[in-house]
């Protein structure tokens, strides 16, 4: 994974929240919130919270007292997340690295991470940190995108970038968000981190938009794909966006568009006795 893949900076956080969240993240955030609510936790940690779509969903789904600590590595994402939620004294925002969490052992009943584990440079370390801060019998819930072929808008946009830039094609979407879909590898990393029971669900959904322009804009300008495009052509961002939009129109039509999306949602249980992985 390129270091720039983690750079959700500049205008990306605002564009990500405005365009990409309703396109592909909202539906999975509601599913994740239902899973968290079923556990009935009193202390929830969210890592890699982005612009807070899951944070908002959990806060909305669970009435009454609950402590939610939402963390992200990127301050710009946290700024947007905090502004979007508004006042809710049950939620605390913290900048934190998921691989080195600034919390005591056994501090939380649930750790949640929606579409963030793909960005962990060391999966076992990230999973071990989640386990460390979980109480005995606590639950780690996280999701990763399935292979890019199962996620049609992202697949078309990536192919369009390869057409436009045949040398060193911008490949962020396939490389990182959709590059960690091996369920077996994920389960092995969780076992290595010390988790017990592991359940992995394939969750299919449909992404909808009023036009092909919206997913083109969302992916090309609201993700680190933007950085790769600008590295290829500093003045080519709009050209790349329109090329992606044209490819999406050819595939899905000129009016409202819809495409398949698919993710793996993982539930890992902390053993009843806390301790170091091994």
Among all chains, which residue has been given the structure tokens 């052992």?
Answer: 105
The H or E element that residue 208 is part of is strand 198-209
How far is the C-alpha of 154 from the C-alpha of 240, rounded, in Å?
14
What does the mean pLDDT of the chain come to? 93
Residue 7 confidence (pLDDT): 59
Confidence (pLDDT) at 86: 79
Q: For the chain, what are the domain ranges?
A: 3-269
Of 113 and 18, which is predicted with more confidence? 113
pLDDT of the residue at 276? 44
Span 34-56, average pLDDT:
96
User: How do residues 235-249 score in pLDDT, each as one tens digit?
Assistant: 999 999 999 999 999
pLDDT at 275: 45
Predicted pLDDT of residue 2: 58
* Coil/strand/helix, residue 150: helix
Give me the helices (H) in the chain, please.
Answer: 12-15, 26-39, 53-61, 75-85, 123-133, 152-164, 172-175, 183-192, 213-221, 225-232, 237-252
Reported as a single tens digit per residue, the pLDDT across 65-91 is: 899 999 999 999 999 999 988 788 999
Query: Cβ-count burial of 260 within 10 angstroms (0-12 exposed, 13-18 middle, 19+ buried)?
Result: middle
Superfamily name and number for 3-269: Vaccinia Virus protein VP39 (3.40.50.150)
Tell which residue, 84, 54, 77, has the closest CA to residue 263: 54
């Amino acid at each position: 994974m390129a270091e720039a893949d983690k750079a959700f900076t500049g205008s990306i956080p605002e564009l990500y929240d405005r365009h990409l969240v309703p396109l592909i993240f909202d539906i999975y955030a509601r599913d994740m919130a239902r899973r968290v609510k079923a556990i009935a936790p009193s202390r929830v940690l969210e890592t890699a919270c982005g612009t807070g779509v899951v944070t908002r969903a959990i806060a909305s789904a669970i009435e009454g007292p609950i402590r939610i600590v939402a963390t992200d590595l990127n301050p710009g994402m946290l700024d947007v997340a905090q502004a979007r939620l508004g006042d809710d004294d049950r939620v605390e925002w913290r900048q934190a690295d998921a691989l080195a969490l600034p919390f005591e052992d056994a501090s939380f009943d649930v750790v949640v991470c929606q579409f963030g584990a793909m960005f962990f440079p060391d999966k076992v370390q990230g999973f071990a940190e989640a386990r460390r801060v979980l109480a005995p019998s606590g639950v780690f819930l996280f999701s990763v995108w399935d292979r890019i072929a199962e996620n049609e808008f992202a697949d078309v946009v990536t192919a369009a970038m390869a057409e436009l830039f045949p040398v060193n094609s911008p490949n962020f979407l396939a490389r990182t968000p959709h590059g960690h879909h091996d369920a077996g590898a994920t389960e092995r990393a969780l076992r290595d981190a010390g988790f017990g029971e592991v359940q992995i669900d394939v969750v299919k959904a449909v992404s909808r938009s009023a036009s092909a322009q919206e997913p083109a804009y969302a992916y090309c300008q609201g993700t680190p794909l933007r950085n790769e495009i600008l590295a290829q052509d500093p003045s080519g961002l709009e050209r790349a966006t329109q090329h992606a939009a044209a490819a999406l129109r050819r595939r899905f039509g000129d009016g409202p568009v819809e495409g398949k999306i698919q993710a793996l949602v993982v539930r890992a249980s902390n053993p009843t006795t806390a301790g170091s992985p091994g």
